[in-house]
């Protein structure tokens, strides 16, 4: 059947007949439950795989309450407090939600907590502070007008995701679910036996969908039940004295809370990771993946498939880490919010298939008065589709409360089109890959391949307002015909540049994405200079190569042809003039969106060309350096036009302008993906408006296409 398969839909007890009807309408071959829903018995006899959402860390408060020392823990840090006298008392939970977190006084605070004088950076000796379990406070012998913090362990007495769902869905009667630590000895045995019993008691379940394994990403709420700190990549909630003692044996040195709380930055993805933090990540991945394999083996012993949700308790199972494949999972499923999150899932190796949950989730925060689930579905699909043509998911699906979607006029028709088009892509390309550039491009940052497609974002395509100018780079690249890799600075020093024609460095100064102190590493800068001098192409966005050192801010300002005014060279006159005639701008009509842009950028040297500037400062500059080329962008948020601008920039930086139109479309709101093995070209309209575009093959115009809104048109080569 043509319109059947590759689709998972949610169900619940109140939509049994509707589920059956929708399964037939959409051709779904799998049905799932969700957090807060149940699988109806009437569904079990349908011709469909049954997914069971499975929680290893919660949904058994009796066990957690009986074993309080094995409840999951998180490192927290208090606010900074100024001492005015020789003594200061700090209330630990001020600003945190006491229904979610509770200080751990079971394990000796003097062994596992840390008080730091933030004025000097020195650790306050344990004999200089005391704690009160009764009052939940720490009292410190202080130096007047120095600033102090306390880093402490706290039990997670309400699972963060359950708390999030509780608040988002306005649950009233659901009891708070505690979260227990599967890494701990007693709980580990309990969880394995519980999983075996679940498999035995549920012979109808085909796929155990682990949500996820053991450690929740950092999701901390404040005293008003608002999100206080969210780090989808955070390891703050993967700690306990039991785990940390094992780490100390493995690493050979004492663990400090500062390795996690990191001066209050909580080791966010934007921080340049310390050696100790990278060691801890490596240790956790080894241990988590080894234990996860044991649970997967249990599932397989009952003839069932094991699927991992890339979210919730996913810490330690990073899919691009060195140990992930050893888990032996059958599948990974994750939320698809755009092209980047789609590629984050679809590029995963070591599983039999990948599955994406398309947005919107069927939650009342979208399906409500003032909500626009159809518009969100359109936007989601337009971004995901262009990436699917480059690296297709094997399956798609939806999650949440099906009743909400069924009651929204026109929504089911919208996703019917999406599902049919997804299947059509697979049917047409027949497992082949789309044409990509005849050269390789690298994204250079501190994380490299271990955080592939994970740049600059919160999670699930939610990005930070302050960095959307950088998010656009990888969103554009997710659906472009570019052979792309992610590398770090160690890769540069180990000779990786030789395999690339273009390197992109994008981010804010001193972040992990720009590179911070890596740019004063003599080996790094000299290797990149030599590589560009011999014909490489370097693209910088925002504050690339940024580190104030030896009279310059951009350490590769000679390569880029630009530097940033930080107030030290105001007395130096700058004579910058615009010349917009360039290969990069041949397709571009009207204003370029640089996002928030970057103030204070000026060109210098002898080989630059300013293509765009604002109030006397440059926003788009090209430069030549020996035989190589560079391009500077002040910012590049995602838009169809900016995708085209980046495509032109990459080909120009590579010195391969003549090859850009092997497969090409003239309208910047359209893109093309050529599948040479099957003789088909996909031309996509990335807007909700009708438009026309000229199709080029091998540099020659072959026809003009008139496309409907959001249309995907197949053209034979």
Rounded alpha-carbon distances, angstroms, from residue 269 to 232, 398, 512, 598, 683: 9, 28, 7, 22, 36
Contact 308, 333 (CB under 8 A): yes
Measured CA to CA, the distance from residue 354 to residue 198 in angstroms comes to: 24
Structure tokens at 475: 């969103």
Measured CA to CA, the distance from residue 136 to residue 102 in angstroms comes to: 9
Measured CA to CA, the distance from residue 329 to residue 410 in angstroms comes to: 37
312 classed as catalytic: yes
Contact 569, 607 (CB under 8 A): no
Rounded alpha-carbon distances, angstroms, from residue 42 to 5, 46, 386, 399: 20, 8, 38, 19
For the chain, the C-alpha Rg in angstroms (whole number) is: 27
Measured CA to CA, the distance from residue 380 to residue 359 in angstroms comes to: 6
DSSP 108-175: -HHHH-EEEETTTTEEPPGGGEEEETTTTEEEEE--TT-EEEEEEEEEE-S-HHHHHHHHHTT-SSPP
Measured CA to CA, the distance from residue 549 to residue 506 in angstroms comes to: 19
Interacting residues of 482 by C-beta distance below 8 A, sequence separation 6+: 436, 437, 441, 647, 650
Interacting residues of 572 by C-beta distance below 8 A, sequence separation 6+: none
Task: List beta partners, residue 86.
Answer: none
Interacting residues of 91 by C-beta distance below 8 A, sequence separation 6+: 78, 135, 136, 137
Active-site residue, from 12, 262, 312, 338 = 312
Q: Tell me if residue 405 falls in helix, strand or coil.
A: helix
Q: Which residues are known catalytic residues?
A: 312
């Amino acid at each position: 059947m043509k319109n059947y398969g590759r689709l998972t839909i949610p169900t619940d007890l109140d939509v049994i007949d509707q589920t059956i009807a929708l399964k037939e309408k959409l051709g779904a071959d799998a049905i799932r439950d969700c957090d807060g829903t149940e699988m109806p018995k009437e569904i079990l006899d349908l011709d469909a795989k049954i997914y069971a959402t499975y929680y290893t860390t919660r949904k058994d408060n009796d066990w957690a309450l009986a074993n309080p020392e094995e409840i999951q823990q998180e490192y927290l840090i208090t606010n900074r407090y100024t001492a005015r006298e020789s003594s200061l008392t700090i209330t630990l939970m001020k600003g945190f939600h006491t229904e979610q977190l509770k200080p751990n006084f079971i394990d000796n605070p003097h062994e596992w907590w840390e008080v730091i004088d933030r004025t000097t950076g020195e650790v306050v000796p344990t004999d200089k502070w005391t704690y009160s379990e009764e009052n939940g406070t720490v009292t410190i012998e202080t130096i007047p007008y120095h600033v102090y913090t306390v880093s402490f362990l706290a039990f997670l007495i309400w699972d963060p995701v359950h708390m999030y769902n509780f608040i988002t869905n306005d649950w009233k009667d659901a009891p708070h679910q505690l979260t227990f630590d599967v890494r701990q000895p007693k709980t580990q045995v309990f969880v394995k036996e519980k999983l075996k019993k679940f498999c035995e008691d549920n012979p109808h379940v085909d796929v155990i969908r682990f949500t996820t394994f053991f450690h929740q990403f950092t999701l901390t709420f404040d005293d008003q039940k608002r999100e206080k700190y969210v780090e989808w990549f955070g390891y703050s909630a993967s700690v306990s004295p039991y785990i940390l003692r094992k780490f100390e044996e493995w690493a050979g040195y004492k663990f400090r809370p500062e390795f996690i709380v990191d001066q209050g930055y909580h080791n966010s993805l934007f921080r340049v990771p310390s050696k100790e933090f990278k060691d801890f990540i490596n240790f956790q991945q080894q241990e988590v993946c080894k234990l996860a394999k044991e649970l997967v083996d249990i599932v397989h012993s009952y003839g069932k498939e094991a699927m991992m949700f890339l979210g919730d308790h996913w810490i330690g199972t990073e899919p691009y880490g060195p140990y992930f494949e050893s888990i032996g999972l059958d599948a990974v499923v994750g939320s698809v919010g755009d092209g980047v999150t789609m590629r984050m899932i679809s590029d995963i190796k070591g599983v039999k298939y990948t599955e994406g949950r398309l947005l919107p989730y069927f939650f009342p925060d979208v399906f409500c008065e003032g909500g626009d689930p159809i518009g969100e579905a359109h936007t989601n699909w337009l971004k995901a589709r262009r990436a699917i043509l480059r690296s297709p998911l094997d399956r798609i699906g939806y999650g949440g409360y099906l009743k909400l979607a069924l009651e929204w006029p026109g929504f089911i028709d919208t996703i019917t089109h999406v599902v049919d088009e997804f299947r059509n892509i697979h049917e047409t390309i027949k497992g082949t890959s789309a044409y990509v550039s005849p050269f390789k491009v690298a994204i250079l940052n501190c994380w490299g391949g271990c955080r592939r497609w994970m740049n600059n974002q919160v999670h699930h395509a939610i990005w930070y307002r302050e960095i959307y100018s950088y998010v656009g780079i990888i969103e554009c690249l997710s659906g472009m015909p570019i052979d792309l890799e992610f590398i770090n600075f160690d890769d540069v020093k180990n000779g990786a540049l030789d395999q690339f024609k273009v390197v992109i460095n994008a981010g804010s100064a001193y972040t992990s994405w720009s590179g911070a102190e890596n740019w004063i590493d003599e080996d790094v800068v000299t290797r990149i200079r030599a590589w560009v001098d011999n014909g490489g192409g370097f693209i910088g966005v925002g504050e690339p190569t940024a580190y104030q050192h030896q009279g310059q801010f951009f350490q590769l300002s000679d390569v880029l042809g630009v530097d940033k005014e930080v107030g030290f060279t105001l007395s130096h006159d700058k004579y910058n003039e615009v010349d917009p005639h360039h290969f990069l701008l041949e397709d571009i009509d009207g204003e370029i969106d640089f996002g928030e842009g970057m103030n204070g950028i000026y060109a210098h040297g002898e080989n630059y060309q300013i293509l765009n500037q604002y109030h006397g400062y440059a926003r788009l500059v090209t430069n030549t350096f020996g035989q190589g080329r560079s391009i500077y962008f002040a910012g590049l948020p995602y838009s169809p036009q900016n995708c085209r601008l980046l495509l032109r920039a990459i080909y120009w930086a590579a010195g391969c302008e003549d090859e850009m139109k092997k497969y090409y479309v003239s309208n910047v709101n359209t893109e093309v993906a050529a599948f040479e093995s099957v003789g088909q070209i996909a031309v996509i309209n990335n807007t909700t408006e009708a438009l026309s575009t000229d199709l080029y093959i091998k540099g020659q115009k072959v026809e003009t296409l008139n496309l409907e809104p959001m249309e995907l048109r197949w053209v034979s080569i």
